[in-house]
Amino acid sequence: MSNAELTAEAHTPHPTPYTPPAPPMSGGLGGPHPTPLLNRI
């Protein structure tokens, strides 16, 4: 049963792993050092 759950998670379609870093980028632009943010990506 545990295997089924794991498989479901693995099969879960991921839209974009870079979605979280996208919002912070906007804030970074307003920040004093937007360059480090780009480097992080």
User: What is the per-residue pLDDT across 1-41, written as a single tens digit (0 to 9) for each?
Assistant: 566 655 555 556 666 555 555 555 555 555 555 555 555 55
Output the pLDDT for position 29.
54
Closest CA to 17 of 38, 37, 33, 41: 41
Output the pLDDT for position 16.
56
The token pair that represents 22 in the structure block: 């996208």
pTM of the model: 0.15
Region of residue 5 (left: phi > 0; alpha: psi -120 to 50; beta: else): alpha
Range of the domain at 10: 2-40
Tally of structural domains, the chain:
1
Output the pLDDT for position 35.
59
